[in-house]
Structure 1
Amino acid sequence: MKRNNLIPGLVLIAIGFYFFAKQMDWNIPFAQVVFAWPSILVVIGLMFCFQAFSNKDESQTFSGVTLLGFGLHFHAVHTFSLWSHHWGYFTFILGVAFLAKYSVRKAEGLLPGIVLLAISILSLFYQGVFDWIRESLGIFQQYWPLIFIVIGIYLLFFKKK
């Protein structure tokens, strides 16, 4: 049975608890980390994931894993000095979200998830690969308009209706 009011209810409870704890000046351990703005993404992401996996809803799975991943990433950036804002982390999070979406229904998301994870791993661990690709495509940068010319000639003269 689907419960459409679960997410709004949990969000209101979490927001109420946050403001009540602030009003009462409770001394909560790690309050600066827990009450930081990425925590909002983590909490909402966890709620979406909980509802998505209980209802087998792949759209909420994708949203939940994405919000959870971004929240964890931004917490790590602010907490750990070794964590960076490298773009490979964002494609990694989206790749995991696509694979989580695929795990719910086995319908779609497998190929984009694998491609995004492969791109992420290459970008995070093998910077030399991207340098080689950039050098290899140097000639392409000069002659890329020829591709449009060839496609145009094909469409005008060789493509049958």
Structure 2
Amino acid sequence: MKKSTNFSAYALLAIGFYYALETFQIKLFDQQQSWQTLLILFGLAFLIGGHFDQDENAILPGILLGGLGVHFLCFGQFPDWPEHAPAITFIIGLGIILRSAKTKTGSIQGIILLLLAAFLHFFDSIINGLGWVEQGVQVVQKFWPVLLILGGFYLLFLKKK
């Protein structure tokens, strides 16, 4: 019961801070009164509450909410900022790796997601660098989601430990 009370306290502090900035017309940065800022504050509430409650299960939602808030706040503001698919994949992979640092499980899944995010982000550069295999790459580009789906089904149904 104490864990949910502390999270509720941190969430109320985050929402109060968000609306206090608006009410007292305090401007810290552009777009501070956006839904993205609320995501960041709720992510921080999860991370702070999880830290003080020693609840490693709060790491993933905290990183996910905070990371999504930062991504959507920065998307379009910086020319080299990644597109949605690689950024979201990176955020989830980072959250899994940070959670696995506490739980000692799941680091392989996080690393795979980080590698997939890097591949998605640099896909066009990789294609341009491999001009001699452009034909084969076009086939892979068209069907790589099917390979991911087949890999997921393999892990769910065929690979038994």
**Aligned AA (2:68):** F
**Aligned AA (1:135):** V
Q: How far apart, in 2, do the equivalents of 1:136 and 1:67 lie?
A: 32
Q: What's the TM-score once normalised by structure 2's chain length?
A: 0.70
Name the residue aligned to 1:69: 67
- 2:131 equivalent to 1:127: no
Q: How far apart, in 1, do the equivalents of 2:66 and 2:22 lie?
A: 24
Name the residue aligned to 2:147: none
Partner SS, residue 35 of structure 1: coil
Q: How far apart, in 2, do the equivalents of 1:78 and 1:10 lie?
A: 30
**Gap runs ≥5 in structure 2:** 128-133, 144-161
Of the candidates 41, 45, 48, which is equivalent to residue 47 of structure 1? 45
For each residue in 1:26-51, what CA deviation from the matched residue of structure 2 results, as whole angstroms up to 9, or x when unmatched? 24242x42222111111111121122
Range that drifts further, 49-58 or 64-73 = 49-58
Q: How far apart, in 2, do the equivalents of 1:35 and 1:78 lie?
A: 17
Partner SS, residue 59 of structure 2: helix
**Gap runs ≥5 in structure 1:** 141-161
Of the candidates 86, 107, 110, which is equivalent to residue 107 of structure 2? 110
Range that drifts further, 14-23 or 67-76 = 14-23
Inter-CA distance 23–105: structure 2 relative to 1 (3 Å threshold): same
Q: How far apart, in 1, do the equivalents of 2:86 and 2:96 lie?
A: 15
Inter-CA distance 133–112: structure 2 relative to 1 (3 Å threshold): farther
Partner SS, residue 79 of structure 1: coil
**Aligned AA (1:19):** Y
Q: CA RMSD, aligned part only?
A: 2.7
Q: What's the TM-score once normalised by structure 1's chain length?
A: 0.70
Name the residue aligned to 1:158: none
Q: What percent of counterpart residues are identical?
A: 27
Tell me the CA shift for residue 9 of structure 1.
1.3
Inter-CA distance 21–53: structure 2 relative to 1 (3 Å threshold): closer
2:14, 2:45 within 8 Å by CA — same for their partners in 1? Answer: no
Q: How far apart, in 2, do the equivalents of 1:4 and 1:20 lie?
A: 24
Name the residue aligned to 1:85: 83
Name the residue aligned to 2:34: 36
Aligned length: 136
2:18, 2:38 within 8 Å by CA — same for their partners in 1? Answer: no
Partner SS, residue 81 of structure 2: coil
1:7, 1:47 within 8 Å by CA — same for their partners in 2? Answer: yes
Tell me the CA shift for residue 112 of structure 1.
1.0
Name the residue aligned to 2:10: 10
